[in-house]
A and B are shown apart, each in its own frame.
Chain A
Amino acid sequence: QQQVKQSPQSLIVQKGGIPIINCAYENTAFDYFPWYQQFPGKGPALLIAIRPDVSEKKEGRFTISFNKSAKQFSLHIMDSQPGDSATYFCAASRGFGNEKLTFGTGTRLTIIP
């Protein structure tokens, strides 16, 4: 049973554009929603995370938008660069991140110059 659905599977954006990756969750007990970035041969690295008591969080060029009623959240990357080309995973957990993470299936992002 997949509890976190992620789309699109792959995305190609021109440099400077704003890629948007979407996730939807089913379990209303989830209370912590991080995004991870993974480069080939490396483990995932935490980018940014949000709790459901806020609708938006921004860190540098990365923004999470959160819609609690729709059980959806998304990642926006401002002024995207070729170095942002990676696979991005959304995830969710209970216990404000203290418990296990349930990951989406990933989005392979390519930023073309």
Chain B
Amino acid sequence: DTGVSQNPRHKITKRGQNVTFRCDPISEHNRLYWYRQTLGQGPEFLTYFQNEAQLEKSRLLSDRFSAERPKGSFSTLEIQRTEQGDSAMYLCASSQGGANYGYTFGSGTRLTVV
């Protein structure tokens, strides 16, 4: 296991289309996080899972966004009816939980909505 894997790396979509991103965390990590990063800004929290349970969702996450983590392994983030403002880097991270363990981030999926 070499790290957190995200697919696809890049996605260009037309406004109004649905997109889905996948994240494969480090296998022994039970926590999985999604963040969004726009140019020149720090990552913003979207949601996180402990195993298959979604424990928190940001108010940034509109009804068009949904995330799942079936069986506590990989996770998907779906955006319905994409808007130009959804263009960003979507980052996934995982951690093994417990105090003082840092996250390991993937390289992200860059979404461009045209």
Contacts and interface: CB of A to CB of B under 8 A. Distances in A.
B42 A91 contact: yes
Nearest to A31: B99
**Chain B interface main SS type:** loop
Contacts, number: 63
Contacts of A42: 107-108
B65 interface: no
A44 interface: yes
From A46, A51, A91, name the one whose CB has the most chain B CB atoms within 10 angstroms.
Answer: A46
Contacts of A43: 4, 91, 93, 105-108
Question: How big is the A interface, by class?
Answer: 20 to 34
B104 interface: yes
Interface of B: 4, 31, 33, 35, 40-45, 48, 56, 58, 91, 93, 95, 97-108
Interface of A: 4, 6, 32, 34, 36, 41-46, 49, 51, 89, 91, 95-106
